[in-house]
Amino acid sequence: MHKQMNATNALSLTLLLTLAGSASTARAAEHTNMTSPKRVLVVSVTAGFRHTCIPVGNQVFADLARRSGAFTVDFIEQPSGSAPKQPRPPAPLAADASDAAKADYAAKKAEYDSALATYQTDLAQWTDSLAQALKPLSPENLKKYDAVVFNNTTGDLPLPDKAGFLQWIADGHGFVGVHAATDTFRGHTPLDPFVEMIGGEFKSHPPGTYDVECQIMDLEFPATKHLGQTWKLNDEIYLLNGFNRSKVHLLMSLDKHPKDKTPGFFPLAWSKQYGKGRVFYTALGHREDVWSGEWKDKDGKRLNPPEVAEAYQQQVLGGLLWALGLAEGSAAPQTQAP
């Protein structure tokens, strides 16, 4: 059960809103008078690649909720176990293969067929476990929430009702996508409705992470106001497919390729309206030291200074407060060149 926001939490919210950007005093005051904070559901289930930063990100969302008092968080996390690995078929048999080679191939093919049958059974069971974990995303259960966050989700998630989930957003709720959220429901032709909602899909990325200088396109939006005109950090940079600038409000981009530094346009963060709902996405959030100022690798090192993590947390917080309707910012598309 939610507790009424006290004076300390109200002050904390005001300070965080100031850090996050252009929240109006009236909107903040209205929220502090509410009997309960907003409710947010953070999803970190993956049907594809799983980022090691996910637990760090979940902890950040829990900390932001606790420190602000503006919202509470519940989590949908990965079920125990791991996805089965698909077996590899044997190499094709050459047309002029010897009898011995044919016999060896037949044995390997039989072994593969058996492994494939086991894999398909295990995959069905794994997919069912994902579906069980994702049951809280049913339209009925979503009535309890004001926004959903996809923290580095991947793959074709077995949602209980994907159309109902998208309609829930369109009906006036908030959605925040972080980094690999655009690696979710991707690769379909035509574009999956989820991709249309979030605004683009992961296509590829240069291997590794890179030092980049982000160009800030909106100096008033709560997710970017604190960054100034440029922001430097090291992270994995997504190249996107299906992005249409005329349908989003661009917040942040690169004007150079992250690896070879050739001039170009590479969107990194945006806001958009989806029906009556508010959608915020940031492509950053791959490295643990982007999320956390305290994280270090096994050698006690990090590539990003703690100030980067502080700025990133403010970006995520600002985007979430905006998606919740607790901070003001534009969602009107921008069509001009960066």
The pLDDT of residue 332 is 87
Indicate whether 35 pLDDT > 80: no
What does the alpha-carbon distance between residue 3 and residue 15 come to, in Å, rounded to a whole number? 20
Burial class (CB in 10 A: 0-12, 13-18, 19+), 184: buried
φ and ψ at residue 240, rounded to 5 degrees: -110, 155
Average pLDDT over residues 319-334: 93
pLDDT at residue 199 greater than cutoff 50:
yes
pLDDT at 324 over 70: yes
Q: What is the pLDDT of residue 10?
A: 38
pLDDT given at position 112: 97
Beta-sheet strands, E only, within 129-222: 147-151, 174-178, 201-204, 210-216
The pLDDT value recorded for residue 265 is 96
The least confident of 30-39, 106-115, 243-252, 320-329 is 30-39
pLDDT band at residue 14 using 50, 70 and 90 as cut-offs = very low
For residue 34, the model assigns a pLDDT of 53
Taking CA 240 as the corner, what is the angle to CA 163 and CA 317, rounded to the nearest 5 degrees? 70
Give 204's pLDDT tier (boundaries 50, 70, 90). Answer: confident
Portion of the chain with pLDDT greater than 90, in percent: 85
Span 234-246, pLDDT tens digits: 999 999 999 999 9
Spatial separation of the C-alpha atoms in residues 67 and 34, rounded to whole Å: 17
Write down the pLDDT at residue 81. Answer: 86
pLDDT digits (tens, 9 = 90+) for 69-111: 999 999 999 999 888 999 999 999 999 999 999 999 999 999 9
Average pLDDT across the chain, whole number: 90
Q: What is the DSSP string of 27-63?
A: HHHHHHTSSS-EEEEEE--BSS---TTHHHHHHHHHH
Alpha carbons within 13 A on the beta-carbon side of 160? 12
What is the token pair recorded at 9?
A: 């939490």
pLDDT value of position 19: 47
Measuring CA to CA, how many Å separate 278 from each of 210, 227, 270? Answer: 30, 22, 11
Round to whole Å and give the CA distance between 79 and 129.
7
Instruction: Give the mean pLDDT of 30-41.
Output: 73
Q: What is the pLDDT of residue 246?
A: 93
The residue with greater pLDDT, 8 or 124, is 124
Closest CA to 28 of 68, 59, 55: 68
Q: Judge whether residue 21 has pLDDT over 50.
A: no
3-state secondary structure 227-282: HCCEEEEEECCCEEECCCHHHCEEEEEEEECCCCCCEEEEEEEEEEEECCEEEEEE
Domain-wise residue ranges, the chain = 7-79+135-323
**3-class secondary structure, 106:** helix
Query: Looking at residue 30, what is its pLDDT?
Result: 52
- Fold for domain 7-79+135-323? Rossmann fold (3.40.50)
The first and second tokens of residue 306, run together, are 């703690």
The Cα 182–Cα 150 span in angstroms is 9
pLDDT tens sequence across 256-293 = 999 999 999 999 999 999 999 999 999 999 999 999 99
Ramachandran quadrant class, 13 (left: phi over 0; alpha: psi -120 to 50; beta: rest): alpha
